[in-house]
Each structure stands twice: as C-alpha cells, then as structure tokens.
Amino acid sequence: MKTCMEPQTEAVSQENIHQRVSAMVESMPPFPQSVLRLMEMTKDFNCSPKDLVEVIECDPVMTMKILKLVNSAFFSLSRDVVSIQHALVYLGMNTVKNLAISIATIDALPHKTISELPMEKFLTHSLGTAFVAQRLAKDCLHIKDVSDYFIAGLLHGFGKMVFIQLEPASYASVLQQTKDKNCSLVQMEVIHIGISYAEVGAMLAQSWQLPTSLVDCIRTHVDCDADSSDMAISVAAASMVATVMQLGINGEVVMDEFPECIQQRLGCDLKMIIEQMQNLPDEVSKIQSMVRG
C-alpha cells in the first residue's frame, strides 16, 4: 500500500491523502481523560451544561467531531456553528451530551504516540494556544465574541495529530530534523511529506464543513502577512507564546520575536505579551485537572 510518507519520486496525490486522512480521523479516539471525565459527569442526568462544554472544548478530537456533525450536510443549520456553545444553543444540552458520549464510546483505535511529540504535551500546547488566542483577541484586538478564537487555537495543529496517527515513524523523523536543523516545521513537512500540517488540518476542516473563517485560519496561521485575518494572526501569535513559555510541545523551533505583521496588528511585541501571560501555566493546568476530574 502506498503512503503519503514515501519520498517525492512520484507526485503525491492530494485526493489520495485526503481520503486516507478522512477515514483515519473517523477512527481517531478522543483523549482518554476527557472520555473518563465525560462518562463520570453524564451519569448524572442533571449534569451541569457549563462543565460539559468545558470538558468537550478541551478535547480537539471531540470538538472537531461534534462541529463536523452539527455542520454536516445531514444537519445543515441556517448559520455556521463555530463553537461548542453554539452547538449547545442549536441542538440542546441533551443532544450535544449524547453526541459526545457516542464519540467517547466509539470503538476507536488507540492513540499512537511518539516521543518527539507526545499527545499529552501536544494537547497542553493546543489548550495554551486556545487560551492565549482568546486573550489576544479580547485585549489587543478588542473583539467581543471570542469563543471561535478558542476553537481556532485548539484546532490549529490538528494536522499534526493526523500525521502522528498516520505515519508515526516518518513524522518523528521530520520533527527530529526540524530540531536538528533549527528550521521551519512546515517546510520540512512539505519536503518530506508533500503537504503541511496546516494544509491537512484545513482540508479536514473544509471537508467537514466547518466555517470558512476557521478553515482559513488553520490553513494560513503558519504564513501570516498584513492581509491575514485577525483570527490567523491571533492563533499564530498564541502558538508562539505557548512555545516560548514551554507550555506543552508543538515540535516547532522557538522564535525570539513575532514577525513584523503580527507585531503591527497586535500593537505589542512577544516580550510584552509573555509578561502579561504569567498566569497562563496555572490556567492551563487548572483546566486540565478539571478535565481529569
């Protein structure tokens, strides 16, 4: 069987990658701690909707799958559903709860994991990025409804999870080389795999009919310029902040400053943001322990 990790002797068929990735993600399990917490919580018929949202929205797999279902052709609502709260308002607490339970209990493959990017550390980075993206949107860009910034931060690196599940050994070597050569992860992925995690994540989000703003953000946050959306800028900056603060691992090299376009848009530099984010590790560990119950 052909894999997308073969060297570039043949052009990699985008169509082929797409199909394989989609099929693989269907069987991707949510994180064990969110499943445990969810099952525990939902034993109580009257469990708190707030807690439910919090558990679901800390798990990228569960979030992506619920948004997919809600936005799918079978159940197209008149407007894009961009957050778990959104899904709750449209489908009601019980439907979302039962969707989450059915996702939690599907007969899924166990997570593959590699030491270069352990799933737990990756989750921490995703959560950290989600928090920071939301804060930046609120504080620097004065955006009112920032719930979709949280989701965008949480899902920005989903493509990496896909690579780890699909080809753990080859992706481990891509990550190792990125580290050794101190170069861009996206460039390494394109050279060795033929496609970047940003592209794979966006492709999935698109085929699952997630909102265009989210798809664009996942695709373009790795290559921001002056025309980038506020969401892409916030997520790119947030991911860098989480990386510098060593909150989890994302496999990318540490930058000492934001690119010019990000600095301009946010109106501040990396150091200033990090100073403001000193409580971030606490917040992230608080939410992680809440998810663990």
Partner 1 sequence: MIVRFRGVRGSIPSPGPHTIRYGGNTTCIEVWTDDGELIILDAGTGIFPLSQTLFDKFPLHAHIFNTHSHWDHIQGLPFFIPLFVPNNQVSIYGAYDPITQNGIQEILTEQLQYRFFPIRECELKSQIHYHSLQPAEAVQIGAATVTAVLMNHPVVNFGYRIDCRGKSLFFTGDHEPCYNIYEPEDDEFSMYQTLIDQRNRGIIDGMHGVDMLIADSSYTTAEYPSKKGWGHGTFESCLEMAEQAGVQQLFHTHHEPTRSDDALEAIFKDALSKRKYDLSEVDLASEGLTIEW
CB neighbourhood size of 292 (10 A) = 12
By CB under 8 A, what part of segment 95-114 binds partner 1? 95, 98-99, 102
Contact pattern from residue 69 through residue 98 relative to partner 1, giving x for each residue in contact according to CB under 8 A and a dash for the rest:
xx---xxxxx------xx-xxxxxxxx--x
Please pick, from the candidates 46, 115, 182, 278, the single residue that binds partner 1 as defined by CB under 8 A: 46
Residue 49 or 118 with smaller CB distance to partner 1: 49
Angle at 245 between CA 141 and CA 110, to 5 degrees: 100
- Closest distance to partner 1 from the beta carbon of 161 (Å): 24
- Closest distance to partner 1 from the beta carbon of 48 (Å): 8
Cβ-based burial of 52 (10 A; exposed 0-12, middle 13-18, buried ≥19):
buried
Residue 143 or 249 with smaller CB distance to partner 1: 143
- Closest distance to partner 1 from the beta carbon of 216 (Å): 22
- Closest distance to partner 1 from the beta carbon of 52 (Å): 9
Residue 19 or 72 with smaller CB distance to partner 1: 72
DSSP string, 224-262: --TTS-HHHHHHHHHHHHHHHTT-S--S-PPPSS--HHH
Q: At what angle do helices 93-104 and 49-56 cross, to 10 degrees?
A: 40
35 in contact with partner 1 (CB under 8 A) = no
Residue 56, phi then psi, degrees to nearest 5: -65, -45
Residue 93 or 119 with smaller CB distance to partner 1: 93
What DSSP state is assigned to residue 6?
S
Residue 31 or 150 with smaller CB distance to partner 1: 150
Calpha distance 36→55 (Å, rounded): 10
Contact by Cβ (8 Å): 183, 51 = no
Binding site for partner 1 (CB under 8 A): 46, 48-50, 53, 69-70, 74-78, 85-86, 88-95, 98-99, 102, 144-147
